[in-house]
């Protein structure tokens, strides 16, 4: 019987810098994985950290990592060709079938773009599978914008709104993501669907704005990431109410997800 806590070695195929503290590590991986799932990434003697899947390829997964602590500081010293230890994937993730044929709106803030990036990539290259696709992505400043090369591609694939909290440069839209939600229109409201990912306060107010448009709880999905230490529902660190984020989530329909917001 295999031990689910034992990780496997994965080679770093490429490293893509985004900001001073946020890089995407393209890791060798072959197997089933869904957008929004996560891996536990570890380095012996340094520890382990949960990292969301931000991209999926035939023989790799992209993990966008923010340098914020002991484990991630060490990861940032690694170069392509070296290996990291990984366990997973864990969690349920986003299932693209849930949004097929619908007028899909994705609202994401900051690093919250990472868990939904693979959803955006998928429907950007399979536009026939949704009735429409709108993405509203917000960042603190122009220097904090992630996935700039992908954003350049997305501009021709969907209705894309990228905004920063504030900037003196007129080339950038400014304001929080909630500023742009009231302008959304739907040809058939019953076919609308929304994904909202970001800091809890951002999700709370973004969902409130979507509901003002007539979108119901059942039409909204969120990703709730919280201290996912073991990935197996054993340690209890990610428990919120009766839910274990690593097992029951991190993706929740808002009918359940609204009970889990801090």
**Which residues contribute to the annotated binding site for [2Fe-2S] cluster?**
230, 235, 238, 246
Judge contact between 84 and 43, C-beta under 8 A. Answer: yes
Query: Which residues, at least 6 apart from 88, have a Cβ–Cβ distance to it below 8 Å?
Result: 37, 38, 39, 40, 231
- The binding site comprises 230, 235, 238, 246
Q: Which of 170, 150, 151 minimizes the C-alpha distance to 161?
A: 151
Q: Which of 228, 234, 227, 224 minimizes the C-alpha distance to 4?
A: 234
CA distance 25 to 76: 9
Q: What are phi and psi of 73, to 5 degrees?
A: -60, -40
8-state DSSP, 203: H
8-state DSSP, 20: S
Judge contact between 38 and 22, C-beta under 8 A. Answer: no
Judge contact between 252 and 217, C-beta under 8 A. Answer: no
Q: Which of 197, 139, 131 minimizes the C-alpha distance to 159?
A: 131
Query: For the chain, what percentages of helix, strand and coil (3-state, to nearest 5) are there?
Result: 25, 35, 40
CA distance 187 to 102: 10
């Amino acid at each position: 019987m295999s031990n689910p806590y034992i990780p496997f070695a994965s080679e770093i195929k490429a490293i893509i810098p985004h900001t001073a503290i946020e890089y995407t590590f393209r890791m060798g991986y072959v197997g089933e994985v869904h957008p929004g799932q996560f891996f536990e990434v570890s380095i012996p003697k340094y520890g382990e950290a949960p990292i969301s899947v931000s991209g999926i390829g035939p023989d790799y997964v992209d993990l966008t990592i923010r340098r914020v602590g002991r484990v991630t500081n060490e990861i940032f010293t690694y170069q392509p060709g070296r290996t990291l230890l990984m366990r997973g994937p864990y969690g349920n993730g986003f299932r693209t079938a849930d949004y097929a044929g619908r007028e899909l709106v994705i609202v994401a803030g900051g690093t919250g773009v990472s868990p939904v990036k693979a959803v955006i990539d998928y429907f950007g290259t399979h536009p026939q599978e949704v009735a429409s696709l709108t993405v509203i992505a917000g960042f603190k400043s122009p220097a904090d914008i992630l996935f700039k090369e992908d954003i350049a591609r997305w501009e021709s694939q969907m209705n894309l709104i990228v905004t920063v909290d504030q900037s003196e440069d007129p080339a950038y839209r400014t304001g929080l993501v909630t500023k742009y939600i009231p302008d959304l229109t739907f040809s058939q409201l019953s076919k609308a669907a929304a994904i909202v990912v970001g800091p809890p306060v951002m999700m709370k107010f973004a969902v409130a704005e979507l509901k003002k448009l007539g979108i119901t709880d059942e039409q909204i999905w969120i990703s709730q990431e919280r201290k996912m230490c073991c990935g197996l529902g054993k340690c209890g660190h990610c428990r919120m109410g009766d839910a274990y984020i690593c097992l029951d989530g991190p993706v929740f329909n808002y009918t359940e997800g609204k009970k889990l917001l801090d």
